[in-house]
Structure 1
Amino acid sequence: MRIAFRVHGAVQGVGYRRFAAREAQALDLAGWVRNEADGSVAGEAEGPEAALAAFRARLAQGPAFAAVGRLDWGALDVRSSLPHPFEIYR
Structure 2
Amino acid sequence: MIARHLRIHGRVQGVFYRAWAMRAAREISVSGWVRNRKDGTVEAFVQGDAAAVGRFVEQAREGSPAAQVSHIETSPAEPEAGLEGFTKKPTV
> Paired residue for 1:86?
86
Q: Say whether residues 1:17 and 2:18 are aligned partners.
A: yes
C-alpha distance in 1, partners of 2:68/2:80? Answer: 33
- The runs of 5 or more residues in structure 2 that have no matched partner are none
C-alpha distance in 2, partners of 1:37/1:80? Answer: 28
TM (norm. structure 2) is: 0.90
Which residue type is aligned with residue 76 of structure 1?
A
Which residue type is aligned with residue 8 of structure 1?
H
> Paired residue for 1:42?
43
- The runs of 5 or more residues in structure 1 that have no matched partner are none
> Identity of aligned pairs, percent?
33
Which residue type is aligned with residue 60 of structure 1?
R
Compute the displacement of 1:74 (Å).
1.1
CA contact (8 A) 2:6 2:43 kept: yes
TM (norm. structure 1) is: 0.92
Compute the displacement of 1:80 (Å).
4.4
Instruction: Report how many residues are paired.
Output: 89
CA, structure 1 residues 26+67, in 2 after alignment: closer, same or farther (shift >3 Å)? same
C-alpha distance in 2, partners of 1:4/1:79? Answer: 12
Which residue type is aligned with residue 85 of structure 2?
P
CA, structure 1 residues 85+5, in 2 after alignment: closer, same or farther (shift >3 Å)? same
